[in-house]
Amino acid sequence: MKNLNEFGIVAGSFGVILILICSITFVLGAVLWPYTINTWLIYTDKQPVIEWWMGGLMGLVPGMGQTCIPAAFITFIIMLFIGG
């Protein structure tokens, strides 16, 4: 019975950590992807169409979620120089 309790604690901890990671990537994507994509859309005289929930879903995609931070940072720096 002791091993079953230990397994439950480990599985529960893993589940909590997984939920935290998913929620953090969703929130980062919800903020940074719309900023990045809509900034470039406005710069090219198009309508900003990306909403927060679309960015959040993009943030959950493995690989794509982690690139939102450098993409937003690079966009911010470039916009400082080109005056977008």
Integer Cα distance of 9 and 76 in angstroms? 43
What pLDDT, on a 0 to 100 scale, did the predictor assign at position 65? 86
Greater model confidence, 26 or 4: 26
pTM: 0.80
Tell me, what's the pLDDT at 13? 83
Backbone angle region of 47, left / alpha / beta, with phi > 0 → left and psi within -120 to 50 → alpha: beta
- Which tens digit of pLDDT belongs to each residue from 14-59? 888 888 888 889 999 999 999 999 999 999 999 999 999 999 999 9
Give 4's pLDDT tier (boundaries 50, 70, 90).
low
Number of domains in the chain: 1
CA dist., res. 70 & res. 35, Å (int): 12
